[in-house]
């Protein structure tokens, strides 16, 4: 497997031109093992152009929350158990009719053609190989219909509601017809945060790459930077007027389950229940919006308490190890998303990289479950955490 991934990494790096600057591996690359997410991250940094790397890895402001997303995971201790029969580990679950072999899901992330020439088509192949549910982004560079035709695993769709509600309704209809099983509405981004690293590097969409789902709004919406003009805060592709009444409107015009992505507080969690949504995703947008908000693992218990089991809570932010997945599940999450990790894999080794990163985390989760005496997801609770 390691040899296959390393060889694929060489091919991907060559194909990635001009967005990549060559293979990061040594001359003995076919023997380089990729055994952790960090291995893929280090390789991706050397493959990608600096401005693309800054877009992928950067956070908002001074990147304090970005650091907290990892550091707060590291502070949590788990309680091992011994002499438990763990000869069979079952990680299966069902979410809104989707049968999923593992609670590790692929988060919505934009612009996959920045990381591989085939973009989301290659991600679809990787998600299919790992049999992992994937949420396709509104800011994808390949249309949902093409992605759906290539993907054999479950697909959801992430929606940025546009000011043109008629266009938004048509996009939701396209998503339904393409076979997506749920709608994930991003609610934490009326405006973008101050992404200093992006600004310093001058990142912008390269020629030939566009937000294909926004073509109906005109060429600027499809190809211009998602960042507003200098000193402005409002973006043409983000609706700052989005409010709870629009969630009611979405519920009235789609049969799909609706999840709200970007909930951090108990107040918003309680209001989401009152709004009748089907689920929420605890997320701080990868620490890319408001710096110094809590890490997602720090915010999760407050949200879980407010929800009180009335609907499923999913988790997004900072996951790099199977033990991180275990900790999020122990705090009450039903499933966990990864974002940057599978993009590291996509950048380095295409579909095989996406699949390999996902399988690494799936394997690490099963190991962590076995060593804490848990054989199925329903047994993972706060008693697993060291006080």
* CB 129 within 8 Å of CB 151: no
3-state DSSP assignment of residue 367: helix
Looking at the chain, the whole-number percentage of residues with pLDDT higher than 90 is: 80
Bond prior to 283 in cis (omega within 30° of 0) = no
Rg (CA), the chain: 20
Q: What domains, with CATH codes, occur in the chain?
A: 2-384 (3.20.20.70)
Catalytic residue among 112, 116, 285, 331: 285
pLDDT of amino acid 216: 85
* CB 136 within 8 Å of CB 120: yes
Q: Which residues contact 87 (CB under 8 A, 6 or more apart)?
A: none
Q: Would residue 226 show up in a list of annotated catalytic residues for this protein?
A: no
Q: Which residues contact 334 (CB under 8 A, 6 or more apart)?
A: 93, 95, 103, 279, 312, 313, 314
The string of pLDDT tens digits covering residues 223-267 is 666 666 666 888 888 999 999 999 999 999 999 999 999 999 999
pLDDT at 10 over 90: no
Kindly report each contact of residues 305-311 with a partner whose C-beta sits within 8 Å and lies 24 or more positions away, as own/partner.
305/266, 306/266, 306/267, 306/269, 306/270, 306/273, 307/269, 307/270, 307/273, 307/280, 310/273, 311/272, 311/273, 311/277, 311/278, 311/279, 311/280
The string of pLDDT tens digits covering residues 122-174 is 999 999 999 999 999 999 999 999 999 999 999 999 999 999 999 999 999 99
DSSP 8-state assignment for residue 313: E
Start-to-end CA span in the chain (Å): 39
């Amino acid at each position: 497997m390691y040899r296959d991934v390393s060889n694929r990494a060489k091919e991907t790096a060559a194909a990635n031109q001009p967005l990549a600057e060559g293979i990061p591996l040594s001359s003995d690359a076919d023997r380089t093992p990729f055994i952790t997410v960090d291995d893929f991250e280090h390789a991706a940094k050397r493959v990608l152009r600096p401005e693309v790397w800054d877009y992928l890895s950067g956070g908002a402001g001074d990147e304090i929350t970005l650091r907290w997303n990892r550091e707060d995971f590291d502070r949590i201790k788990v309680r091992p158990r011994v002499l438990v029969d763990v000869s069979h580990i079952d990680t299966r679950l069902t979410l809104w009719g989707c049968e999923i072999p593992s609670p590790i899901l692929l988060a919505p992330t934009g612009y996959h053609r920045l990381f591989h020439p085939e973009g989301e088509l290659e991600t679809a192949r990787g998600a299919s190989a790992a049999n992992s549910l994937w949420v396709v982004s509104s800011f994808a560079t390949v249309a949902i219909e093409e992605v759906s035709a290539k993907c054999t695993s479950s697909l959801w769709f992430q929606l940025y509601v546009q000011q043109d509600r008629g266009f938004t309704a048509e996009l939701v209809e396209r998503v339904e017809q393409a076979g997506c099983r749920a709608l994930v509405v991003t609610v934490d981004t009326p405006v973008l945060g101050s992404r200093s690293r992006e600004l310093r590097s001058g990142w912008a969409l390269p020629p030939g790459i566009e937000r294909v789902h926004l073509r109906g709004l005109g060429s600027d919406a499809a190809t211009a930077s998602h960042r507003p003009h200098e000193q402005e805060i409002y973006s043409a592709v983000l609706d700052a007027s989005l409010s709870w009444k629009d969630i009611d409107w979405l519920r009235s015009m789609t049969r799909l389950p609706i999840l709200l992505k970007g909930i951090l507080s108990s107040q918003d969690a309680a209001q989401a229940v009152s709004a009748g949504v089907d689920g929420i995703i605890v997320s701080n947008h990868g620490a890319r919006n408001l710096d110094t908000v809590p890490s997602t693992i720090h915010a999760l218990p407050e949200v879980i308490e407010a929800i009180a089991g009335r609907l499923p809570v999913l988790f997004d932010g900072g996951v790099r190890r199977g033990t991180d997945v275990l900790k999020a599940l122990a705090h009450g999450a039903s499933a966990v998303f990864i974002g940057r990790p599978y993009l590291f894999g996509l950048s380095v080794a295409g579909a095989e990289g996406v699949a390999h990163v996902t399988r690494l985390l799936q394997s690490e989760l099963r190991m962590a479950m076995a060593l804490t005496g848990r054989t199925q997801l329903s047994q993972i609770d706060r008693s697993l955490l060291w006080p």
